[in-house]
Chain A
Amino acid sequence: GAVVSQHPSRVICKSGTSVKIECRSLDFQATTMFWYRQFPKQSLMLMATSNEGSKATYEQGVEKDKFLINHASLTLSTLTVTSAHPEDSSFYICSARAVKAPSPGEQYFGPGTRLTVT
């Protein structure tokens, strides 16, 4: 149980285009989902926190107009990178916290999406 999927796993897009990444909780409902960015050989940096039915909370320095987050249901959150540029190339990871988490702070991570902007 507690599986989180991400789609696509890899995406290549041209500079200036937009790309959407989906994060789904497959067998549980998630009130909160988190989006991280990870550069090669570096740690995970939290970009934003999304709560179902409300606006996302962005971390300092993250452009909310560039990284659009929608958490329309208890099982789906999407991250849209708008007008992508090569510097947006990175590994994007989502995690989800269950409505009824067995342990405080329990978060389940997706397998990540590798975005390459050419």
Chain B
Amino acid sequence: AQTVTQSQPEMSVQEAETVTLSCTYDTSENNYYLFWYKQPPSRQMILVIRQEAYKQQNATENRFSVNFQKAAKSFSLKISDSQLGDTAMYFCAFMKQFVQGAQKLVFGQGTRLTINP
């Protein structure tokens, strides 16, 4: 079974700073997907960024980027120029390669990120 571990329950930084959230996972699969989701106080889950394991290049979405280390099974999220609206719970998630009707997401415990003005 796959497991996802987020070792930082809470983090806090000042606005405009850069912050990195850690995530490690355990799997015997070779092909899979990794995700970072954001859950603001509204509780709506929002996809932040996605990484396919077969891609060596790290995914980037505007101020959000990942550091994907496949051998180390590490998948950290870097938020640059942090904004107040980035305050949220962040979940790292794993999914095995697409199999018809069997795409389950396995979530980490979450990291509560607070951006201070």
Contacts and interface: CB of A to CB of B under 8 A. Distances in A.
Given A93-B45, A111-B44, A112-B43, A32 B109 contact: no
Given A107-B103, A107-B105, A109-B44, 6 more contacts: A32-B103, A34-B105, A43-B109, A43-B110, A91-B43, A105-B50
Contact of A34 (B42, B43, B44, B104): B104
B111 to A, nearest CB: 10
B40 to A, nearest CB: 11
5 contacts: A43-B108, A104-B97, A109-B44, A109-B45, A111-B42
Given A103-B50, A109-B45, A112-B43, A46 B110 contact: no
Nearest to A32: B101
Contacts of A34: 104-105
Interface residues of B, number: 24
A97 B91 CA distance: 19
Contact of A44 (B44, B50, B91): B91
Nearest to B103: A105
Contact size class for A?
20 to 34
Interface of A: 31-32, 34, 38, 41-46, 49, 51, 91, 93, 95, 97, 103-105, 107, 109, 111-112
Interface string B73-100: 0000000000000000001000101100
A13 B95 CA distance: 35
Contact of B107 (A41, A43, A49, A51): A43
A45 B110 CA distance: 12
